[in-house]
Amino acid sequence: MKKFLGEFREFITKGNVMDMAVGSIIGLSFKDIVTSLTNDIISPILGIFGGVDFSDMKWVIGTKVDPATGAVVENSINYGAFITGVINFIIMALIIFLMIKLVTKVGEISKKLAFKKKEEEAAEAVEEAPAETTEDILKDIRDMLKASAKESKPKTRAKKAE
């Protein structure tokens, strides 16, 4: 049980889980804004042009009288609320799509800028590096050959001592 709790604590404190929690909270808050936009702005405008207010659309499938109050209670299918929900979904999907496109575009631009900066730094490094002459290259080859020759010499003295 202790191991399980430790694994759970590690999981819950990872950055991805925390980011997801923050995103969910912001998403829920944003949902209220989109719902208000649909109910308070879009539906009335569509009602003006189309003569229909989605929020009040329903199909009454039965009525009954409440014996305690004597009021008529409707049993209805509120398809207007469903249409409003679909509009909310479409608006949310469009906004998320636009946000993802924006983030992707910003990422591409930053990658291009980083790549360009690396190319410029590499070009500057090449320009700043002193050009090696043939003489310098030959000296390096000579030094490598000397070092190689020292390493490959047989140890004949050790054999004679035995």
pLDDT in tens, the chain (162 residues): 888 888 888 877 776 777 777 778 888 888 888 888 877 887 777 777 766 667 778 888 888 888 888 888 888 888 888 887 788 788 878 887 888 899 889 989 989 998 888 888 887 776 666 667 888 888 889 999 988 888 876 655 555 554
160 belongs to a structural domain:
no
106 belongs to a structural domain:
yes
Measured between its terminal Cα atoms, the distance across the chain in Å is 67
157 belongs to a structural domain:
no
Handedness of CA 130, 134, 137, 139 (dihedral sign): negative
CA distance linking residue 151 with residue 11, whole number of Å: 55
- Domain extent at residue 133: 2-151
Instruction: Give the CATH number for residue 101.
Output: 1.10.1200.120
Task: State how far Cα 131 lies from the chain centre.
Answer: 46
